[in-house]
Amino acid sequence: MNVDKTILLLKQGKHISEDTVYSLCLKAQELLINEANVTHVDTPVTICGDIHGQLHDLLTLFDKSGGVEKSRYIFLGDFVDRGFYSLESFLLLLCYKLRYPDRISLIRGNHETRQITKVYGFYDEVMRKYGNSNVWRYCCEVFDYLSLGAIINNKIFCVHGGLSPDVDTIDEIRAIDRKQEVPHEGAMCDLLWSDPDEVETWSLSPRGAGFLFGENEVNKFLRTNDIELITRAHQLVMEGYKEMFNGGLVTVWSAPNYCYRCGNVAAVLRIEDDLSKNYTIFEAVQAQDGVGNAIIPTKKTQMDYFL
Amino acid sequence: MERIVQQTDLDALSCKMAAVSKGYLPSKELQENVCGFSDYKTIHLEYFKSIMKNLGRRAQGQINRSLQSSFPVMNYGTYLRTISIDMVLHDYISNHNDDGFIQIVNLGCGSDLRMIPLLSIYPNMSYIDIDYEPTIKLKGNLLGNSEFFGKVLPADRYRLLSCDLSKHDEVINLLKEVTDLTKPTIFITECALCYLKDDDAQLLINSLISTYRKAGLWISYDPIGGGGEGPDGKDDKNDRFGKIMQSNLRETRSLEMPTLLKYRNKDSYSSRFKQLPDVNIDVRIQNLWEYFTKNISDEEKQRLKGLQFLDEIEELQVMQSHYVLLSAQW
């Protein structure tokens, strides 16, 4: 398998053979198995939120932020589900990881699991594209090796969802056995599922898993671990990003016009050497070009609206 | 355009079947215990089975696909739409059933089967379904040729009328023949006004309310575009939901919603029901996200959560904030 060639094919949304996906996933696993649960990343670096299979918008993201050939990236998870190109988006990121291992960190999101991808589209997409579920299985095995978080210059903690009542220190995250399907409860689950909110203390989440946490929990985590900021994704933000708790936490969302219907813009966050923050906002790729040719082929007539 | 609007009934039906098969509907707490509905699932499965036999292979495939991959956000939306209308109906009927007779007119009924439980609970109710001719013909055949529906549907108090809702005078003339103008009358427009031209919809609303001016209720469920700046200055100019909806529906299926961006918020949508100066009308409107957060009990929310893993709370909020339930009582 030739990684550069595969990257070219993926960028054009072309079919990748089952064998190629197999060897790509195997190589990715060999690489990811050696990464820590919380990977160390140096500045400058660009932090990206949920992608959700919106391949064309992922390409825009790289365009607008310098590209992996020149810049370092952290992806906060949720590469797959909902959009039409979950497979291509995930494989492109894997190819970049293989090609530029030090320039891209992939963190696991709550959609990178067997159970969730069966409900939210990735499984169906693979069945549609290959007629069997092999490619889905290869990808799910890679999901089990993705990191749970990253730490930038020992000062900025990156995670998909948020904090957990079972986790006080980042060292405790390092001790988790991550190579498994995401459990329904406990530290690993919470890191991928929790949300910040205006709450006094740990509260029940309206989602099926994880917790709500407030300013108190964030301040305690920042103090205990001697860090300045938590960056996370997981929640749609219409403006692309949202800072909370006196700047102690930020949500970054990188899927513009989410599900081709929400009308939101997307953002990525660049952290400079002095830890200053720069947001880049970007819009969704148009579904059709000026003369009516489809850029994003909508193969499936979607039941997106109540009619 | 007519055919394109008629096809939206298949969407509504697939959504309803998805919500039924995943257990969102019926709601024991609301539809069974409060409204008194029974056999909800059987009734819907029976109708679904027979309509599938009548559809072409392509339509069948389309419905089966959407049933298989029914997203939780869509099932929640279908649940909310159905429950909210049932509950408004129930509240009004329980307060107006004393004089013994009530009539319901479902404008643009499609495959809706509400009349079956309602007619069996209320022996003094008459129910009229109105839609385009092909829809009415199909529905009439499916109900009429079935032993099952012959038993559960009281045919003497149920009528199917074909009419184009954009012709308000025809609607009125048809209704005058089969209804009692002096009795309380409920009109339902569930995703029906949104397909009409502004003037046609307004004439339909005004003329029906004036004709049945003694007492009535209008229940309307529709999408609203959002965005723009309303009279209260509260609207979000960055809200592009309606614009994107308009272009998505146009591109994927050439479907038009002429007033989506005109009646883009709750106030402007309600204003259409206050155009008659001499009718005293009480108009209430909620978006369906408000309905979900305020009207659905914690127990019921807990039940829904157990059916499918709902990961997309924010998306649910965005979507449901753009659908409204109006009830106008006079």
3-state SS, B265-313, equals: CHHHHHHCCCCCCCCCCEEEEEEHHHHHHHHCCHHHHHHHHHHCCCCCH
Average pLDDT, chain B: 93
Query: Residue A292's closest chain B neighbor by CA?
Result: B251
Instruction: Report the share of chain A in percent with pLDDT over 70.
Output: 94
> What global pTM score does this model have?
0.92
Is A231 within the bounds of a domain?
Answer: yes
For residue A5, the distance in angstroms to the closest alpha carbon of chain B comes to 33
**A300 is written with which tokens?**
């499936």
Is it the case that residue B16 has pLDDT exceeding 70? yes
Phi, psi for B328 (deg, rounded to 5): -115, 120
Chain A residue numbers touching B62 (CB-CB < 8 A): 301
Phi, psi for B35 (deg, rounded to 5): -75, -25
Say which residues have a Cβ less than 8 Å from residue B106's Cβ, sequence separation at least 6. Answer: B112, B114, B115, B127, B128, B129, B130, B187, B188, B190
Tens of pLDDT, residues B125-159 = 999 999 999 999 999 999 999 999 999 999 999 99
Q: How far apart are CA A221 and CA A120, in angstroms?
A: 32
For residue B287, give the CATH number of its domain: 3.40.50.150
For residue B155, the distance in angstroms to the closest alpha carbon of chain A comes to 28
Q: Is A234 a catalytic residue?
A: no
Is it the case that residue B235 has pLDDT exceeding 80? no
Q: How far apart are CA A113 and CA A120, in angstroms?
A: 11
Mean pLDDT, range A194-208, rounded to an integer: 93
Nearest to A260 among B12, B65, B248 (CB): B248
- What amino acid occupies position B18? A
- Assign A297 a pLDDT band (cuts: 50, 70, 90): low
Exposed / middle / buried, residue B263 (Cβ in 10 Å: 0-12, 13-18, 19+): buried
CB contact under 8 A, A305 and B239: no
Is it the case that residue A299 has pLDDT exceeding 50? no
Domain count, chain B: 1
CB contact under 8 A, B248 and A304: yes
CB contact under 8 A, A208 and B305: yes
Is it the case that residue A273 has pLDDT exceeding 80? yes
Say which residues have a Cβ less than 8 Å from residue A283's Cβ, sequence separation at least 6. Answer: A256, A257, A265, A266
Give the range of the structural domain holding residue A61, as residue numbers without chain letter. 11-282
Q: Are B279 and B330 in contact (CB under 8 A)?
A: yes
Tens of pLDDT, residues B187-201 = 999 999 999 999 999
B227 has binding-site annotation: no
Predicted local confidence at residue B61, as pLDDT = 85
Exposed / middle / buried, residue B231 (Cβ in 10 Å: 0-12, 13-18, 19+): exposed
Is A292 within the bounds of a domain?
Answer: no
For residue A167, give the CATH number of its domain: 3.60.21.10
Q: What sections of chain B are H helices per DSSP?
A: 2-21, 40-54, 57-68, 72-96, 115-121, 133-144, 147-152, 168-178, 198-211, 241-253, 266-271, 288-295, 298-307, 313-320
Q: Are A116 and A81 in contact (CB under 8 A)?
A: yes
Is A22 within the bounds of a domain?
Answer: yes
Tens of pLDDT, residues A147-199 = 999 999 999 999 999 999 999 999 999 999 999 999 999 999 999 999 999 99
Tens of pLDDT, residues A114-148 = 999 998 999 999 999 999 999 999 999 999 999 99
Domain count, chain A: 1
Task: Evaluate the omega torsion of the peptide bond into residue B26 and state whether it is cis, within 30 degrees of 0.
Answer: yes
- What amino acid occupies position A86? S
Is A179 within the bounds of a domain?
Answer: yes
Predicted local confidence at residue B154, as pLDDT = 94
The mean-pLDDT minimum among A15-24, B63-72, B148-157 falls in B63-72
Chain A residue numbers touching B244 (CB-CB < 8 A): 257, 260-263
Instruction: Report the share of chain A in percent with pLDDT over 90.
Output: 89
Nearest to B239 among A115, A207, A263 (CB): A263
B108 has binding-site annotation: yes
Question: Which value, in Å, is the radius of gyration of the alpha carbons in chain A?
Answer: 18
Strands A156-158 and A229-232: parallel
Exposed / middle / buried, residue B115 (Cβ in 10 Å: 0-12, 13-18, 19+): buried
| B55 or B41, greater pLDDT | B41
3-state SS, B189-228, equals: EECCHHHCCHHHHHHHHHHHHHHCCCCEEEEEEEECCCCC
Is it the case that residue B64 has pLDDT exceeding 90? no
**B41 is written with which tokens?**
């699932």
Tens of pLDDT, residues A209-223 = 999 999 999 999 999
Helix, strand, or coil here: B108?
coil
Helix, strand, or coil here: B17?
helix
Exposed / middle / buried, residue A108 (Cβ in 10 Å: 0-12, 13-18, 19+): buried
ipTM: 0.88
Predicted local confidence at residue B234, as pLDDT = 60
Is A104 within the bounds of a domain?
Answer: yes
Tens of pLDDT, residues A27-55 = 999 999 999 999 999 999 999 999 999 99
Is it the case that residue A241 has pLDDT exceeding 70? yes
Give the range of the structural domain holding residue B60, as residue numbers without chain letter. 1-329
CB contact under 8 A, A207 and B81: no
| A242 or B95, greater pLDDT | A242
Query: B257 - beta bridge partners?
Result: none
Exposed / middle / buried, residue A169 (Cβ in 10 Å: 0-12, 13-18, 19+): exposed
Q: How far apart are CA A22 and CA A8, in angstroms?
A: 18
CB contact under 8 A, A235 and B314: yes
- Assign B23 a pLDDT band (cuts: 50, 70, 90): very high
